[in-house]
Structure 1
Amino acid sequence: MTQTKAPAKDAYTLILEAIDIGTFRPGDRLVESDLAERFGVSRTPIREALQRLETQSLLARDGRSLIVSSLDHNQMSELYVVRTELEGLAARLAARHATREEVRVLRDMVQADRALIGDPSALARANRRFHKQIHLASHNRYLVQQLDLVHRSMALMATTSIAAEGRGEDTLTEHQAIVDAIEACDESGAYNALRDHISQAFVTRLKLDGGDV
């Protein structure tokens, strides 16, 4: 039986994923030749990928070099306003459209993620997977696309709010409330639970950035 190979990731996806998981952090300089060697691709697709990422404001110019962008206070606040509304809408639609299997996956995620408390990096990755599952459960492709753009920009923040003391436990408690509302088909409850979750994450991030946590 012939085994089908997964398609190779393109240069854009490779760089984007490296930014998303924190391999490349805000302020890091990205050098075309280094990236080509790192990812084992030619410089032409790397150059095209860098141009695309710059157009999307994920990279910025520093003289003649490109660096991973960072968000100032105003940009971060604007991003959270958009994220709060879009995430809330995703939860509302998930409460309306999610299948029993999708709800089961969300419940299993919350349960499994309890083992990650104390590991902020792992919990942050699990948090992204949880939110992505809610986006998919909304069954609205256009909303999923917009949330993908928002979450790419979230990678430009230097810290994760889950790193704050006690935030891991609180995050999972909030996730459970979201899942409970989705399972109950409570659209308003799911919307409010997810909005409150994002709002609390934003407050925590502001405290982290201000040195109060």
Structure 2
Amino acid sequence: MQKDAYTLILEAIDEGTYRPGDRLVESELADRFGVSRTPIREALQRLETQSLLARDGRSLIVASLDHNQLSELYVVRAELEGLAARLAARHATPEEVRVLSEMVEEDAALLGNPHALSRANRRFHKQIHLASHNRYLVQQLDLVHRSMALMATTSLAAEGRGEVALAEHTAIVDAIRTHNEDRAYEALKDHISKAFITRLKLDASNA
């Protein structure tokens, strides 16, 4: 299925091709993605409405999150992700649990590669969202994760965070597998909390 201009630009931001502060130019985007300027213009307007892009004079740039926005985002993310884990513990099929387990095993090979681990981490969390079997929750988490793309670095780049995150993923999957809803909720909330602490430390060291 061919991706639309909105999805192409969003993925480019998510993958770090365009980073916070980068200017997006209609003609350059049209050339890069091989589409006309009209869908590019519509996609940029949509991304601006969603606060993923910001105005800098007459230019549109990739937005960045200040400390307060970051804190607010993590509060919402922790609650929604925790709920997704709780519902996954209730509704996930044996096949979905197996996929989650295999993801954790395979992701161990990516330790030392923060960019690849970050992509794998997004896939893992998305799988939990889907295993919740609640379409409205999945929609809300998609919005949250779009905003997460505005972070210039991944918390998985921090020394030792990758190994710890995978151990946390294992605990989350175990709780889902045993249908322990409370433990799944707490394990995922704790996982997000620790990622936030790591990010705050990274930001402080880069200030």
The 2-side partners of 1:126 and 1:13 are apart by: 19
Q: CA shift at 1:174, angstroms?
A: 0.1
The 1-side partners of 2:143 and 2:24 are apart by: 21
Q: Which residue of 170, 175, 181 corresponds with 1:187?
A: 181
Counterpart AA for 1:160: T
Q: CA shift at 1:73, angstroms?
A: 0.1
Residue-by-residue CA offset, 1:4-52 (whole Å, 9 max, x unaligned): xxx2111011001111111110000000000001100000000000000
The 1-side partners of 2:29 and 2:15 are apart by: 16
Q: CA shift at 1:115, angstroms?
A: 0.3
Counterpart AA for 1:46: I
Counterpart AA for 1:155: A
Q: CA shift at 1:122, angstroms?
A: 0.4
RMSD: 0.7
The 2-side partners of 1:168 and 1:157 are apart by: 17
The answer on 1:16 being equivalent to 2:18 is: no
TM-score normalized with structure 2 length:
0.99
The 1-side partners of 2:32 and 2:74 are apart by: 33
Q: Which contiguous aligned blocks of 4+ residues in structure 1 show a shift greater than 2 angstroms?
A: none
Is the partner of 1:142 in helix, strand or coil?
helix
The answer on 1:26 being equivalent to 2:27 is: no
Residue pairs, 1:111-130, within 5 angstroms: 111-130=105-124
Match of residue 158 from structure 1: 152
The 1-side partners of 2:103 and 2:3 are apart by: 26
Q: CA shift at 1:176, angstroms?
A: 0.1
The answer on 1:96 being equivalent to 2:90 is: yes
Match of residue 136 from structure 2: 142
Specify every segment of 5 or more residues in structure 1 that has no aligned partner in the other structure, as ranges. Answer: 1-6
Report % sequence identity. Answer: 82
Match of residue 60 from structure 2: 66
Residue-by-residue CA offset, 1:115-171 (whole Å, 9 max, x unaligned): 000000000000000000000000000000000000000000111100000000000
Match of residue 170 from structure 1: 164
The 1-side partners of 2:16 and 2:177 are apart by: 33
Is the partner of 2:196 in helix, strand or coil?
helix
The 2-side partners of 1:22 and 1:92 are apart by: 31
Counterpart AA for 2:162: G
Is the partner of 2:54 in helix, strand or coil?
strand
Aligned residues: 206
